[in-house]
Amino acid sequence: MQKQAILLGSDAIANGVKLCRPAVISAYPITPQTHIIETLSEMVDRGELESQYIKVESEMSAIAAVLGSVSAGSRSFTASSSQGLAMMHEVLHWFAGARLPLVLVNANRALGAPWNIWSDQSDSFSQRDTGWLQIYCETSQEALDTIIIAYKASEQLMLPIMVMIDGFILSHTMERLLIPDQQLVDDYLPAYQAPYRLDPDDPLTFGAAAQPDLFYELKKTFSETMSEAPTVLKNCEADFRQAFARAYSPVMRCPEGDEKSDTAIICCGAMTGTARVAVADLNKRGLSTDLLKIRLLRPFPKDELCAVCRDKKRIIVLNRACSYGVGGTLSQEVRAALYHLEQRPLVNDVMISLGGKEVFPETIAAVIENREELSSVDCNWLK
C-alpha cells in the first residue's frame, strides 16, 4: 500500500527518512539547512520516529556525530546544503575511507562568495572525490524513493551515499506523491546489521595509521568496491521496482526524447523536468532531440552512458556546476566516459545556470535551435 499525499519536497524527504527508521539523526539547524531535519525533529518529538536526535553546533559536528553512531552500528541520517556540506568535507573523506554506510541528503545550493542561496550543484560536485556515491534526483518522489534505495545499497556496499535534490526547486515546492507503507519499506529494507562496529566486548581498531604500501592496497580495494557499486545499486533499484512499482537506473532515458535522434541533451537533477517540456516541444516541431538524465554521478556510470550514446553525433550537456578553468563539471564527466566509444560524439558544454539562474523550456529550446553556433572545445556560457 502506498498513500497519496501533497507534500513539500523537504517533508517528502523527511517521510522517506522516517520510513527507513534511522536510529540516530544529527544535524546543524541553521542556514543553509533545509526543513528536512526540522520535520524530522518534530517527528522525533511527537514520538512518531524512535530516533536519537543530536542537535550539534556545526555541520562538521553533525557529520562527526553520525560517524560515531554508524561506527557503533546504528543506521543514521544527516542533511545539509552548500557551505554546510563544504564544512563537512574533511569528515566526508574519512566516512568513505572508514567504509561506513550512511545516507546524507544535500539540497544543492550555491557556494559564496558572493552570497547566494539558490539552486546550484557546485556544492556536491566539488565533493565528487570524497569516495561517496552521489545520486541526483529530479522530483521529490524520486528523492523519497532514492533514500530507501540508498540505505539498502549503502549498507550492502558499506559505503556512504549522498542523495541530491535541487535547493528550493524541490525542497521548497509542493508535489503530489505516493508515500509507501511502513510494512512495504520494512520488507524491502531490513534492519541494519553492522558487520563490524565499536564494541568494547569485541574491540577493533578503526582507521588507524597505515604504512604507504598498506594504504595503497586499501585504496585499491576501495576503488574496486566502488566499481561494483553500480551493479549493487542497479540490483537495489530492480528490487525496488518490484516492490514499489517505480523504476530508477543510473542513467535514464526520458520518454519525451526521441531515442532515434542523433542529438541528445544530458542533464541531472530537477532541470530534467524543464528539459522534458522543451524536448517534447522540439520533437513536435521536428527538431528531433533525445533526453538523458544522469542519476548516478559517483561512481560515474560510463558503461550505461556509452550504451545509450553509441549512435549519437552530438551531445549537449546542460551544467549547473562549474569547474573554473575547465568548464561544466558534468560535461567533463560525460566527455571522459564517452572517450571510450569508437565513434565519439561531439560534446557541447553548456553552462545553463548557476546560483539559481532560472532555466525555462525556452532557454533549453534556444540552445538546441542554435546548436550549430556552440563551441565544441570551450564552455558555452549564455549570452
Partner 1 sequence: MTELKYVKAIKDGDFRGLPISRASTAVNMTGSWKFFRPHLVSKNSPCREACPLQIPIAAYLGRLAEGKPSAALALLREFNPMPAVTGRVCPNFCQNACNRMEFDEAVSVGELERYLGDLGLEQAPDPVTVNRTEKIAIIGAGPAGLSAATFLARRGFKITLFEQAPAAGGLLRYAIPAYRLPRAILNREIDNLLKSYQIDLKCECRIGPDETSQLATEYSRIIWAPGLQSSRLPAAWPRLPLIKGALEVLSAISRGADINGQRFLVVGGGNAALDTARSLRRLGKEVEIIYRRTLAEMPAYAAEIKQALAEGLVIHTEEVIENVKPLTTGLQLFIHKSRKINEQIGAGEFLRTATADCLIAAIGQESDLRFNEHNNFITAGDFAHGAASVAEALASGRRAAETVLQQLGILPVPENITPDLKSKSRIEYKQLQLDYYAKKPAVKMAELDSLSRKENFSEIHQTLSSEQMQIEIERCFHCGSCTACGICWFFCPDVAIALDREESDLESRVLFDYDHCKGCGQCAAICPRGVIEMEEDN
- Site residues (vs partner 1, CB under 8 A): 97-99, 156-158, 195-196, 203-210, 217-218, 221-222, 224-225, 228, 231-232, 235
Alpha helices in 9-103 (DSSP H): 9-19, 36-45, 59-71, 82-87, 89-97
Please identify, using beta-carbon distances, which residue of 91 and 316 lies nearer to partner 1: 91
Please identify, using beta-carbon distances, which residue of 226 and 374 lies nearer to partner 1: 226
Handedness of CA 219, 97, 128, 342 (dihedral sign): positive
CA 362 to chain centre: 26
- Output the smallest distance, CB 25 to partner 1, in A: 20
Please identify, using beta-carbon distances, which residue of 216 and 339 lies nearer to partner 1: 216
CA distance 165 to 329: 17
CA distance 128 to 124: 7
Please identify, using beta-carbon distances, which residue of 213 and 224 lies nearer to partner 1: 224
Total residues found in the chain within this entry: 383
- Output the smallest distance, CB 97 to partner 1, in A: 6
Cell of 65: 556525530
CA distance 114 to 91: 25
Please identify, using beta-carbon distances, which residue of 215 and 339 lies nearer to partner 1: 215
- Output the smallest distance, CB 156 to partner 1, in A: 6
- Output the smallest distance, CB 51 to partner 1, in A: 21
DSSP code for 299:
S
Please identify, using beta-carbon distances, which residue of 182 and 242 lies nearer to partner 1: 242
Look up cell 595503497; give the residue. 216
- Output the smallest distance, CB 167 to partner 1, in A: 33
CA distance 222 to 298: 13
- Output the smallest distance, CB 308 to partner 1, in A: 20
Q: Find out whether 120 and 320 touch, Cβ atoms under 8 Å.
A: yes
Please identify, using beta-carbon distances, which residue of 231 and 370 lies nearer to partner 1: 231
Task: Give the count of beta carbons closer than 10 Å to the beta carbon of residue 216.
Answer: 11
CA distance 295 to 253: 11
- Output the smallest distance, CB 77 to partner 1, in A: 21
Residue 303's beta-bridge partner residues?
A: none
Residue type, 333: E
Please identify, using beta-carbon distances, which residue of 214 and 326 lies nearer to partner 1: 214
- Output the smallest distance, CB 159 to partner 1, in A: 10
Please identify, using beta-carbon distances, which residue of 224 and 342 lies nearer to partner 1: 224
Residue 88: burial class (beta carbons within 10 Å; 0-12, 13-18, 19+): buried
Helix (H, G, I), strand (E, B) or coil at 379: coil
- Output the smallest distance, CB 219 to partner 1, in A: 10
CA distance 215 to 223: 12
CA distance 51 to 240: 25
